[in-house]
Every structure is written in structure tokens, then in C-alpha cells.
């Protein structure tokens, strides 16, 4: 999706849970956001290589510690993002949508709409992705017969 956005598509860009001023820059294709989309697309390619290296025979060429570190780091960060350590995520969105935490009055409708999208799409996606990375890290850390 970030590659599509870097190339000019608006795929779900209007549903990105960003503060209003950053959201406007994202939708206006501010150069910093375009550059960040390219960087994230590149990071996704690296992630694909690491994921494949963890399960394919040619991955034995990579240092095991590097694969373990990348897998666990990505898993922890993605699970933390999904749960809501930084304020959004499952916990933050649930607090907003149940009224326990108030949305800013000047952007209440937008914040609640984005919280719904985050609760139903982004947070579960990051949780699933993070769990997959953590399981990969866990499996990489287990001793395998024939591996020294």
C-alpha cells in the first residue's frame, strides 16, 4: 500500500489515523510523506527478504542472530502499536469510542471515524503481523536438529 501511495495512489490514505494537520499533509502529497512512503516500501522489501530467509534454505547464509533480532523487534513493535502503547491502537481506540477518553472538540467527528477504522482495520492487522513476526522469532530461536 505504501508503494502504491508513493506512486500517487490514495489507497486508504484518508483512513490513516494521523492528527488532522499531518493528515492534510499526507493527502496533499507533501514531499516528506512521499519520501516516507518510499522508505516504508523499501523497509517492506527488506522485511520480505528477512521473512523468507527465516523459512527458506538459502536463509542459512544470513546470521541467525540478525534474523532473530529483526523478527523479535518487528514483532514487539507491531504488537505494541496494535495494543496501543503510543495512544492509539486497540486500547486507545476503545477508550475513545466508549467515551472514557474524550476526542478533541475541534476534530471530534474525524477522530472518532479514524478510531473506528483503526480499531477494525489497522490495529488487528498490526496485531496479526506482529504475532507472525514473534512466532518467526520464537521458531528461529529454537534448536533445530542438524544446526550447529
Instruction: Please provide residue 146's backbone torsions phi and psi, each rounded to the nearest 5 degrees.
Output: 90, -10
Q: Concatenated DSSP letters for 102-131?
A: PPPGGGHHHHHHHHHHIIIIIHHHHHHHHH
Q: Judge whether 93 and 118 are in contact, CB under 8 Å.
A: yes
Alpha-helical regions (H) of 13-103: 20-27, 31-55, 64-83, 89-97
Q: Which three cell numbers stand for residue 86?
A: 503510543
Spatial distance between the Cα atoms of 91 and 125, rounded to a whole number of angstroms: 15
pLDDT at 146: 56
Spatial distance between the Cα atoms of 71 and 136, rounded to a whole number of angstroms: 6
Half-sphere exposure of 51 (CA within 13 A, CB side): 15
pLDDT at 69: 95
pLDDT at 147: 53
Question: Looking at the whole model, is its pTM more than 0.85?
Answer: no
pLDDT in tens, the chain (148 residues): 888 888 888 878 888 777 788 888 888 989 998 999 899 999 999 999 999 999 899 999 999 999 999 999 999 999 999 998 777 899 999 999 999 988 888 888 888 998 999 999 999 999 999 999 999 999 998 876 655 4
Spatial distance between the Cα atoms of 145 and 148, rounded to a whole number of angstroms: 8
Amino acid at each position: 500500500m505504501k508503494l502504491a501511495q508513493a506512486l500517487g495512489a490514495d489507497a486508504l490514505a484518508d483512513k490513516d489515523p494521523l492528527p488532522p494537520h499531518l493528515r492534510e499533509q499526507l493527502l496533499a502529497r507533501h514531499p516528506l510523506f512521499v519520501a516516507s512512503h518510499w522508505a516504508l516500501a523499501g523497509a517492506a522489501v527488506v522485511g520480505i527478504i528477512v521473512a523468507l530467509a527465516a523459512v527458506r534454505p538459502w536463509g542459512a547464509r544470513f546470521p541467525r542472530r540478525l534474523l532473530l533480532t529483526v523478527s523479535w523487534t518487528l514483532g514487539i513493535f507491531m504488537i505494541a502499536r496494535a495494543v496501543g502503547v503510543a495512544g492509539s491502537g486497540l486500547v486507545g481506540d476503545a477508550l475513545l469510542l466508549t467515551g472514557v477518553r474524550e476526542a478533541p472538540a475541534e476534530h471530534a467527528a474525524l477522530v472518532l471515524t479514524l478510531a473506528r477504522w483503526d480499531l477494525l482495520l489497522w490495529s488487528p492487522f498490526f496485531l496479526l503481523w506482529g504475532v507472525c513476526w514473534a512466532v518467526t522469532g520464537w521458531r528461529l530461536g529454537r534448536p533445530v536438529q542438524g544446526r550447529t
